[in-house]
Amino acid sequence: MAEDRLSGHKLPPQNIEAEQSVLGGVLIENQALDKVLEILTPEDFYRDAHRKIFEALMNLSERDEPADLITLTNELKKRDGLDAVGGASYIASLIDMVPTAANIEYYARIVKEKALLRRLIGTATQIVTESYEDRGDVEAFLDEAERAIFEITENKIRPSFYPIREVVKQSFKTIERLYEKKEYVTGIPSGFREHDRLTAGFQPSDLIIVAGRPGMG
């Protein structure tokens, strides 16, 4: 479609197969949505149909309802969006796209990269267009251009805030693991009992710095 093309009559960066694999992976393994949400937002999908399907999957997850062919189809029907995404047959085809959700994070990152490139092209095109205009205050224009590019670079960073539902879910998993293990050390013991009692040992993603005063050996 003409509106899908950028300057020079080229299609914007996109990977439809990766988008389909992400959606199909979530339908195969609902828990995989948590991993995907750390990387993608609905706006990252190139196809509008895929955005609608992803939003419907998010809605089902927020209500703690399973996501499968039946429930997803029903969710889209309630929003009068089933025909717009290609009907139940298209949703069924998404499940056939991938045999497992094992690589879903890899597919999600491909989708994210393409979305960032589209935003970069759009922003760069706007900067070029406005550069031909008599802006007057060039310094202010440069600041605006820099800010627009910075917003794109910020978007590639993992979000610092997560839905409270995800935080609570992860906390309950940690509590259950502690209860089952019956030990206060859940990570790698440091060898110092008091330290391990306070920290539960060295945990994944911990930044450990071992330091001492000069001359202390």
When pLDDT is averaged across residues 97-121 and rounded to a whole number, the result is 94
What CA–CA distance (Å, rounded) separates 58 from 192?
44
Contact 52, 85 (CB under 8 A): yes
Contact 202, 208 (CB under 8 A): yes
Instruction: Give per-residue pLDDT as tens, 110-142.
Output: 999 999 999 999 999 988 988 888 777 888 888
Kindly indicate the confidence band of residue 216, based on its pLDDT and cuts at 50, 70 and 90.
low
DSSP-assigned beta bridge partners for residue 27: none
Contact 17, 93 (CB under 8 A): no
Instruction: Give per-residue pLDDT as tens, 145-175.
Output: 888 888 887 776 455 455 666 667 777 777 7
Which of these, 169, 160, 161, lies nearest to 64 by C-alpha position?
Answer: 169
Kindly indicate the confidence band of residue 181, based on its pLDDT and cuts at 50, 70 and 90.
low
Instruction: Give per-residue pLDDT as tens, 48-77.
Output: 999 999 999 999 999 999 999 999 999 999
pLDDT of residue 202: 77
- The angle that helices 138-155 and 104-131 make with each other, rounded to 10 degrees, is 170
165-202 in b/e form (b: 16+ CB < 10 A) is eeeeeeeeeeeeeeeeeeeeeeeeeeeeeeebeebbbe
Average pLDDT, the chain: 84
